[in-house]
Structure 1
Amino acid sequence: MGTGTGRRGMLAVAVTVVCAVTVLAVPGTAFARSPEPTGPASPPAATSPSTPGATGAPSATPRTPAPDKDLQAVRAKLDALYHDAAVATDAYNAAEEAAEQQSAQIVALARKIVEGRDRLAELKERAGAAARSQYRTGGLPDEARLLLSDNPGQFLDGTGRVRQGHKATKDMLGELTQVQQDLEQYAKDATAQWQKLETNRKAKATAQKRVEQQIAAAKKLESELEQEEKERLARLEAEAARQAQTTWLGTGVLTGVRGKASAQGERAVKFATEQVGKPYVWGAEGPKSFDCSGLTSQAWASAGHGIPRTSQEQWRQLRHVDVKDMRPGDLIIYFKDASHVAMYVGDGAIIHAPRPGRNVTLAGAGSMPILGVVRPDA
């Protein structure tokens, strides 16, 4: 999502924005390991005569693994945190895209202002030259000099020149006025775009802080799990996804779906497939990492068809199609707030960038709640 040097320079001089955002308080869980002592070691306890072989304090009792019902609660909490991070990522990406567009418009307006000022200086010089010429002829206008002429031929020739001169002067004055008005409008437009840019920079900073907070809270929660609990949690997540996919397929939703990818769709699917295994990084759009909409937007860009950057704008702007009509290359939008997007690759499967800590992967299209399907090359 890089911008040109001029736009980076324009963005670099923007006022630093400090955004106060409430830090998410993460409730403690029952899975935290008791902290090890950090101070000096306590002296060993005296050995009791009634406990032969005792040489010190008894060893810590291993913590009982959390039951699956508690891990389900952890999974729900993690899902909520990562979902909120995804929503904030979409807000960040939207603000980033808008800021890039606005900075480009500011640069374009700046060029117009420079060109307008040069043209204004040129017109003023021409007007000054005309005034100096009139001064050298005694201040008499062309019409007066014609009336004083006693040569009929010269009078007639002069009349045509006077008319041409009048038109040229009128055109020059009209252009001078228009250039001045244009410069005023360019200045107003540049000011408006700068204000929008600052607004979006603030929105971007707020969204960035929110993303970082949610991801940090999720990582903290995961870090409090024992390794065995992490493994069981992963199995629970995989089983939930499998069941959701089985239920979705069981509805017969794919019965009769035989849509064939377009030529551009095939190129988009090829690009997405080649990214499998690369890590999810929020705000990223390649080449080494992606977020969900970064993957889908870059896949279609590689196919020669630009689409909106965020999953919410992809849902809002692209043509909606029925699931029964979908074909490889179409995008499936997930959750009621359109906070996640994946590329349909056929046979009930998708390729997507799931969330922080995961890699671009192949998954079941029905493993998450589907909002709808959109077609970039409709």
Structure 2
Amino acid sequence: MNRRHCAAAAITLVCALTALTAPVQAFAAPAPPSPSVTQHQSGPKAPKAPKAPKKTLEEVREEIDALYRKAGAATDAYNLAEEKAKKQSGEIVKLARAIVQGQAKIAELKAQAGAQAREQYRTGGLPPGAQFMLSDDPQLFLDGVNRVREGQQAAQGVLGELTRTQQDLETYTQDASTNWEKLEAGRLEQAEAKKKINAQIAAAKKLESRLKKEERARLLKLEQEAQYKLQTAWLSSGALKDINREASASGKKAVAFATAQIGKPYVWGAEGPKSYDCSGLTSQAWAAAGRPVPRTSQEQWRLLQHIDIKDMRPGDLIIYFSDASHVGMYIGDGAIVHAPRPGRNVTLAGAGSMQILGVVRPDK
């Protein structure tokens, strides 16, 4: 059952408890006035405003890159909201089941209490054991004492359990309501993040569409040159000098999964198997290795163990940019596998080809 159906089913259980346009007339266009009339009526022509200087391809590249990075950050927000929504939906379903079970339990306990009350009424207000207590026979008297005591304990037990079950039911209902409010808040967060993602991607594609074919080819080359420059500077810093550790058994499985996805397209919010976004790739790779990790790059950075770059080994995740909006998996020899951005496929890249925020390790 998908999340929407689960949520709908759950909230049903919880609730059970508590401008024409006017036609336009066409007219013939008037003949343009003669130049002399125009000049007489409007005066001398105003000077044309100077055109804005045309952006260089490098400036266009930087603008497009910034737009896709903003889209990446919004994608992280969307994915996080989606994860929260899944959790809230699951909680609502659990609570709804608990509410149904609580209702059934209350009905059962009320039936028991009713049976005890009817029995007491039939015996003139005295339980059967109390009648034996009135006997002159000592043995019957002792039996009566025990039966009265047992009857009192049973009655108290039923009433006590009934009270506890009713209290639990109230708590379940309140929790279900709270989780439903959180689910609705998450839905609004998702919608806002989705709006931002689409706006940023549309703006980037619009910029690219204005370029001629040869300009787009040059743009790609500039992008590759910028990445190569960063990677070269990173390697020249001696970053790989002490990085010679082997992957763990789980890390090898994660790397094998991630590299097997090379060539598949980037799609924001995707977790495979046909397409991925950056954290969708890394989270699914580690899930395949038997070590589930947080869904988003920001949560991976926040919750996983931080590792010094010099201690990095294949399978570790490299988090990029100051807002932790991108992630790639280190595969050794100064390279990563990652899902770059819309319009690109899962590919290999230099580990230092983007601004590194830090490294995290999913397994110890």
Classify the TM-score, shorter chain.
0.7 to 0.9
1:197 to 183, 193, 199: 183
Match of 1:291 in 2: 277
Within 2, Cα distance between the matches of 1:215 and 1:14?
A: 36
Indicate if the aligned counterparts of 1:14 and 1:198 stay in contact, CA closer than 8 A: no
Write out per-residue CA displacement over residues 242-286 of structure 1, whole angstroms, 9 at most, x where no aligned residue. 111000000001102111100000000000010000000000000
Q: Describe the shift of the 1:94–1:182 C-alpha distance in structure 2 as closer, same or farther (beyond 3 A).
A: same
1:79 aligns with 2:65: yes
2:125 to 115, 139, 153: 139
Q: Which runs of 5+ in 1 are unaligned?
A: 16-65
Secondary structure, aligned partner of 1:363? strand
1:9 aligns with 2:21: no
Q: Describe the shift of the 1:269–1:122 C-alpha distance in structure 2 as closer, same or farther (beyond 3 A).
A: same
1:319 aligns with 2:305: yes
Indicate if the aligned counterparts of 2:75 and 2:194 stay in contact, CA closer than 8 A: yes
Secondary structure, aligned partner of 2:313? coil
Tell me the C-alpha RMSD between the 2 structures: 1.7
Query: Displacement of 1:296 after TM fit?
Result: 0.1
1:343 to 310, 329, 333: 329
Structure (1/2) with the larger helix percentage: 2
What amino acid is aligned across from residue 124 of structure 1 in structure 2? K
1:125 aligns with 2:121: no
Query: Displacement of 1:165 after TM fit?
Result: 1.6
Secondary structure, aligned partner of 2:342? coil
Secondary structure, aligned partner of 1:225? coil
Match of 2:251 in 1: 265
What amino acid is aligned across from residue 151 of structure 2 in structure 1? G
Match of 2:95 in 1: 109
Secondary structure, aligned partner of 2:360? strand
Write out per-residue CA displacement over residues 224-253 of structure 1, whole angstroms, 9 at most, x where no aligned residue. 000000001111111111111000000001
1:185 aligns with 2:171: yes
Within 2, Cα distance between the matches of 1:129 and 1:144?
A: 17
What amino acid is aligned across from residue 161 of structure 2 in structure 1? E
What amino acid is aligned across from residue 149 of structure 1 in structure 2? S
Q: Which runs of 5+ in 2 are unaligned?
A: 12-52
Indicate if the aligned counterparts of 2:10 and 2:92 stay in contact, CA closer than 8 A: no
What amino acid is aligned across from residue 193 of structure 1 in structure 2? N
Secondary structure, aligned partner of 1:256? coil
Match of 1:96 in 2: 82
Secondary structure, aligned partner of 1:249? helix
Query: Displacement of 1:140 after TM fit?
Result: 2.3
Query: Displacement of 1:146 after TM fit?
Result: 3.7
Query: Displacement of 1:136 after TM fit?
Result: 1.2
Match of 2:28 in 1: none
Secondary structure, aligned partner of 1:280? coil
Query: Displacement of 1:102 after TM fit?
Result: 0.2
Match of 2:194 in 1: 208
Within 2, Cα distance between the matches of 1:234 and 1:215?
A: 17
Secondary structure, aligned partner of 1:240? helix
Within 1, Cα distance between the matches of 2:128 and 2:143?
A: 12
Write out per-residue CA displacement over residues 115-140 of structure 1, whole angstroms, 9 at most, x where no aligned residue. 00000000000000001111111222
Indicate if the aligned counterparts of 2:10 and 2:93 stay in contact, CA closer than 8 A: no
TM-score, normalised via structure 2 length: 0.86
Within 2, Cα distance between the matches of 1:100 and 1:258?
A: 40
TM-score, normalised via structure 1 length: 0.83
Within 1, Cα distance between the matches of 2:101 and 2:160?
A: 17
Match of 1:375 in 2: 361
Q: Describe the shift of the 1:112–1:154 C-alpha distance in structure 2 as closer, same or farther (beyond 3 A).
A: same
* Amino-acid identity (%): 64
Query: Displacement of 1:13 after TM fit?
Result: 7.8
* Larger deviation, residues 231-240 vs 291-300: 231-240
